[in-house]
Structure 1
Amino acid sequence: MSIRKNVLFACLTIIGLLPLSFANAAPDDVFIFSGTRLPTALSEVGSSVSTITAEQIKQKGYRTALDVVEEFAGVTVNQNGGFGGVGSVRIRGALSEQTLVLIDGVPVNDPSSPGGGFDFARIDTSNIAKIEVLKGNQSTLWGSDAIGGVVSITTKIATSPKAIKAYVEAGSFSTYKGGSEISLSNDLGSFRGAFSGMTTNGISKAESGDGNAERDGFDSKTFSGNGLIYLPASAKITAAILYNDSMLEYDGWGAQTGVSDADVTSETEELSGHITLSLPLFKGRLENTFLTGYSETERNYFTSGSKTYDYFGDRLLFRYQGTLNANETNRIAFGAEHEKTTSGRDENSIDSLFILYEIKPMKNATISAAVRVDDHSVFGSETTSRFSAVYRPHNDWKIHGSWAEGFKAPTIFQLSYYFPYSSKVSGNQDLNPETSKSFDVGVERAFLKSRGIIGVTYFRQNTKNQIDYIDGWYENVNKVKSKGIEVAGEYRLSDALGFEVDYSYIDAKKGDGNRQLSVPKNSGSARLIFAPSKVLSAAITMRHNGLEKNTYGNVKSWNRLDINGSYKLSSKLELYGTIENIFDEEYQQVYGYGTPGTSANVGLRLSM
């Protein structure tokens, strides 16, 4: 716990050093991209990636990070009953714990959870500047855990000399939200601080149609802070912190569907942050970045008010990355990392070296190759590699492809946890690391003077030694294979009207031929965006999710229609609202867990 206090103190100290008298400051126009660990334009990235900005998130009315990533082709979202229920993200049929989650470049996956996954339910969009989803094996770029892909979340920074914003919101199920932020910036640095909160009576986590009537509430408070100090010789120090404290009522085990009403609650605290020094040398040709990052998750569980068990896990990361711009056609990224992971009284560590070389053999083509060596304190050395290429035969065409390897070590939980209901009474010390190989190839085509664009990607991924929970015991599954097609497109009929569509076909099977659980073969969404003026905008979204296999039964396919809109009452005040599940569709995302029927919320935003 002392590390947490030290990191928190250091971040707040950096932020507190910033000047309080501000003038105009130029915005940072560089588009940083997780797909290459280099500042790269989207058109030059060979990997399959989806990205969304804060402005797009606002326009579409997304309220949580889970809502955001659900729109991306190849991504499957599952949540246990909505309103704070555990939210997981699967990429291309991989397990949710095979998705690495980064917040401002810092891994935040929970080391104390069984598979080392991440719960997306508590990340609201008020602090998000951008989300990037990088699909397929990414261990060479980002290390262990990134077998399925990477979800990279960038939090907001100050973008104006002085700004104050606030919002209040009320909605169905006695749901209330609110938040405020202040931003300051000048030629010396910048600062942004924000606080938000939410409370709701919620719905029954266990499906009400199965006789479960008790509502399960959720309360959440979030603090976010970002600071920047400019130093001589174009150097700079940045610091960021994100803290969440939440309380969730949920339901217990039931024989029929796996869940039923129960008086159980959880209290969770999550903290992540970093301090980073950026030091350019040789007139900016060599950029040196030194990052110290930290994240932790503390979970406490209660039954009828009495504490039953608790978990604590943290990650401490030291990273150096050098970026060498040799010339206009050759770039190199290289670096080293040390990451220590703790869960309870156990810990492990990984030391890593990586290098990526990018070359432009011609003006309209980019090729990159990367190698990474990870030395795990328990499982020894593992080498992964990655290749990607993109070719633009014409301004309207883009052909891209990538091949990569993945590596994920068993978690501390899987190796050491005590299983009271199993004849095998401790974690499985004989587990092997998961390894994976994947490739994808795709084409994008712009048409009608770039008013429209359509992209199609084919992917295939094979994972060996996947770790599954089988009969009260964690075991390596021989092999899991997934393949599929992703389609994403958009068309602007006019400056006021646009249409977006995405579709995924995912065929994910284990070695015995059975389908991967909680992965639909077919899913997608269609969206109509209407912005007839600068003061009015709206979006209508239809989502489809195909049938999913589950331990207790099948989750039936479903369709849901949502609508959101906003209207600027003045230059400083904006009215907004959302209606979800307009046709009151009865559906589930996880077998046995309910979802809200038709619900609505309305709010006001103030900007000064």
Structure 2
Amino acid sequence: MTDADAQTAPDADVTQLEELSVTANRVDGPQAAVGSAISSISGEELEQRQIRVVSDVLRELPGVAVNRTGPAGAATAVRIRGSEANQTLVIVDGIRVNDPGTSGEFDFANLLNLEVERVDVLRGPQSALYGSDAIGGVINIVTRKGEPGPPRFRASIEGGSFKTMTGTASVSGGTEAYDFLFAGQGFSTRGVSTASRFDAVVPTRSLDHDGYKSGTGLAKVSVRPTEALEFTGVARYTEFDADRDGFGATSDGYPFAAAVDNRDTEKGKQFFGRAQAKATLLGGAWDHILGLSYTNQDRRSFAGTDLKTYASLGEMTRFDYQTNVRFETQGALPASHVLTFGADHTRDAVKSFTAFPFPADAPNPLRKHIDNAALVGQYQIGFFEKLFVTGSVRRDFNDRFEEATTYRFASAYTFDQTKTKIRGSWGTGVKNPTTFELFGFSGNYVPNSDLKPERGEGWDVGVDQPIWDDRIVIDATYFQQRVRDLISSETVPDPGDPTGFVNRPINLAGTSKIDGVELGLTLKPINGLTLRSAYTFTDGQDATGATLVRRPTHIASFNANYAFLDDRANVNLGVIYNGRQRDLAYDAATFARTSVPLKAYTLISLAASYKLHQNAEIYGRVENLFDKNYEEVLTYNTPGRTAYGGLKVSF
């Protein structure tokens, strides 16, 4: 399947929006055809909330847990339905952006809200559609494209707590024959200290601020020489520079290794690009989509600002093709049909360097790559525009692992009179070990070339119910996830040092089990007022029976948005509840792991804006309104109350 259809397919969201860019079926279709659990947030809603870091809005969606190791710019992991962060596939403008140079997950730290048009989350195993990395689900981020009309310029400037400054600018436009968008963004903040403790070897007198700055450029261009043919190119480039703190023994007698204050830094560059050609034939009944995607993610860590201690370069090159055929049959049982065939080839490559190779004779720098090819087939049938059934199958051919076949089935039925929609899906997933887990090394980490792919299976059943002319929409889902051969880590004696220890990845024997419930409610009682709430219950255990870490049992959110004065003024109230969860604590000497609790926390934010003119708007917000002290990851600091204000113009 092509990743591009995740960008262009306008299927419907089951509870929030009329269209989705990531659909359960990867082809255009009506809302009634969606049998999987999907949630979506529009770009307009992001602006109402004044979201600046995309991962922050994911906290509001059912089934999603977010953990950030410190202030803005710190490593940020996102998990769906209790799965690992590297079991969540992330797509940006049709480009798979999971980093093969590290743990295979996507770090949301440097993805800011630059012209984002929508964020979609597809939950449950999706490997039959998307391949490896999609055991938990798929997150798709789509940025805005140029609209027909004269060129339009938009810009914003914002400042606030910790000497934070943000600026954006974009120009866009188009005709029936082409469209374009060029945008840029700069961000800088003094930040707060990532660590709350001092290094046991060289304790400092005061905790330093860990600053962060980044710059991003985005270009999207589409050309349509005929009504049936479209060529599209998209490129995104980001550079960042972040202060980091270390991790190890503390000077205050804390019993575990912790984030400790020092002067480490990290610099990085990211490039995401895609070129695509799409031909639509037979009056829209037959699509052909051919694409090439490339990503390059370069990270370099330094002790202070001079000594390079570690570097990784992850590259992904992907060719893909997809064709969709739509037709109808008549007779005693009229039906609509969609046939899909896809093929793709992906190369994941890594190059890494460490100043302290372990073991001493390890290849340094390390260069490895893995190739994977796949064939995909899907068939969807619909009866009376009420009952839809979809089946998908994918066969992967990997140059290192055995061939793998994954499946997915989904169905949905909508009752005419009540508009009640009953839906259900079942699917299997696979997550191949990353090149880093197989071959990489860092500090006291050693690879394991004998790792096997993780294999998942999951199902869900749900109901969506609109009431009061769609002013109220209720959705509820029950799900189960099972993962075999989950990749974890173990601490073992160092064969070269009787007093030392090393960590290596292993496959846990047995099956990890995750069960849960997702609830959502949207209410529009009066014009201009929208109330949204979500709740997720997750019960997850690994194969040993231990509670999965950084997966809160209870997650809830509430958002109230009120637009008034003919939509010139807007007020938004957001509440995030993150329940009690477990995290891992490491012995400072042996790095043996112990599971420890993290406290629950509730964060409240308030945002407001006012249009001074049709082309000018002032705005402001307060985050963590009641100055809550909390941890998302053990021993890593988070900001207290912060305030920001800014101005937007367009013409």
Q: Do Structure 1 and Structure 2 share a fold, with TM-score over 0.5?
A: yes
TM-score by length of 1: 0.92
Offset of 1:332 from its aligned partner? 1.3
The change in CA–CA distance for 1:387 and 1:212 in structure 2 (over 3 A counts) is farther
2:482 is aligned to 462
The residue correspondences of 1:434-453 to structure 2 (distance < 5 A) are 434-453=454-473
Q: How many Å separate the matches in 1 of 2:548 and 2:134? A: 18
Contact 1:396–1:450 (CA<8 Å) still a contact in 2?
A: no
8 Å CA contact 2:20–2:40 kept in 1: the answer is no
| Matched letter for residue 589 of structure 1 | E
Letter in 1 for 2:428: E
* Alpha-carbon distance between aligned partners in 2 of 1:208 and 1:399, rounded to the nearest angstrom: 52
Q: Which residue of 1 aligns with 2:394?
A: 372
Q: Deviations over 1:283-333 (max 9, x none)?
A: 321100001111110000111222111100110010000011122710112
The equivalent residue for 1:16 is none
Aligned counterpart, 2:323: 322
- Please give the per-residue CA displacement for 1:534-591, whole angstroms capped at 9, x wherever unaligned: 1011111111111111112321101111111111000000111110011111111111
Residue of structure 2 equivalent to 1:279: 279
Matched with 2:49 is 60
Alpha-carbon distance change, 212 to 294 in structure 1, aligned in 2, over 3 angstroms: farther
Contact 2:243-2:264 within 8 A present in 1 as well: yes
Secondary structure at 1:67 match in 2? helix
Q: So what's the TM-score if we normalise by structure 2?
A: 0.86
Shift in Å, 1:109: 0.5
Mean CA deviation greater in 491-500 or 135-144: 491-500
Is 2:155 the partner of 1:166? yes
Q: Which residue in the other structure is 2:137 paired with?
A: 149
Asked if 2 retains the 8 angstrom alpha-carbon contact of 1:206 and 1:212, the reply is no
* 1:593-604 map, 5 Å: 593-604=636-647
Query: Hey, what's the Cα distance between the residues in 2 that align with 1:248 and 1:400?
Result: 45
Residue pairs, 1:45-444, within 5 angstroms: 45-113=34-102, 115-161=103-149, 162-207=151-196, 213-255=207-249, 256=254, 257-305=257-305, 306-327=307-328, 329-344=336-351, 345-394=367-416, 395-418=418-441, 421=444, 426-444=446-464
- Paired with 1:174 and 1:536, the residues of 2 have a C-alpha distance of 27
Q: Distance in 1 between matches of 2:443 and 2:580?
A: 34
Name 2:5's counterpart in structure 1. Answer: none
Q: Is 1:509 the counterpart of 2:541 in the alignment?
A: yes
The whole-number CA distance in structure 2 between the counterparts of 1:482 and 1:372 is: 24
Give the Cα separation in 1 of the matches to 2:31 and 2:598: 36
CA distance in 1, matches of 2:267, 2:74: 12
SS at match of 2:114: helix
Question: Any gaps of 5 or more consecutive residues in structure 2?
Answer: 1-17, 200-204, 329-334, 352-366, 492-502, 586-595
| Match in the other structure for 1:8 | none
| 2:390 counterpart SS class | strand
Deviation at 1:42, TM superposition (A): 3.7
CA distance in 1, matches of 2:466, 2:134: 31
Q: Which amino acid in 2 is paired with 1:494?
A: I
| In 1: Cα distance, 2:244 partner to 2:598 partner | 20
- Percent identity between matched residues is 30
User: Offset of 1:209 from its aligned partner?
Assistant: 11
Moved more, 260-269 or 274-283: 274-283
1:529 corresponds to which letter in structure 2? Answer: N
For 2:568 and 2:301, how far apart are their aligned partners in 1?
46
* 1:475 equivalent in alignment to 2:463: no
Number of residues paired by the alignment? 576
The alignment partner of 1:187 has SS state of: coil
Does structure 2 retain, via aligned residues, the 8 Å contact 1:416–1:429? Answer: yes
Whether the 8 Å contact between 1:204 and 1:216 is mirrored in structure 2 is yes
Letter of the structure 2 residue corresponding to residue 322 of structure 1: T
CA distance in 2, matches of 1:87, 1:43: 35
Match of 2:529 among 497, 500, 517: 497
**What amino acid maps onto 2:348 in structure 1?**
T
- What do the CA deviations read for 1:168-215 (whole angstroms, capped 9, x no partner)? 000100000001000020122011000100011001111379996211
Deviation string for 1:470-498 (max 9, x for gaps)? 21010001221100000111111100222
Say whether the 8 Å CA contact 1:522–1:545 is kept in structure 2.
yes
Deviations 1:254-274 (A, max 9, x none): 334521101111111111111
1:412-434 residue CA offsets vs partner (Å, 9 max, x unmatched) = 11111236536xxx521211110
Deviation at 1:43, TM superposition (A): 4.0
Report whether the alignment pairs 1:538 with 2:571.
yes
* 1:524 alignment partner in structure 2: 556
Match for 1:396: what amino acid? Answer: K
Q: In the aligned structure 2, how far is the partner of 1:82 from the partner of 1:391?
A: 45
Given that 1:108 and 1:296 are in contact with CA atoms closer than 8 Å, whether structure 2 keeps it comes out as no
Question: Once superposed, what is the RMSD of the aligned Cα atoms?
Answer: 1.6
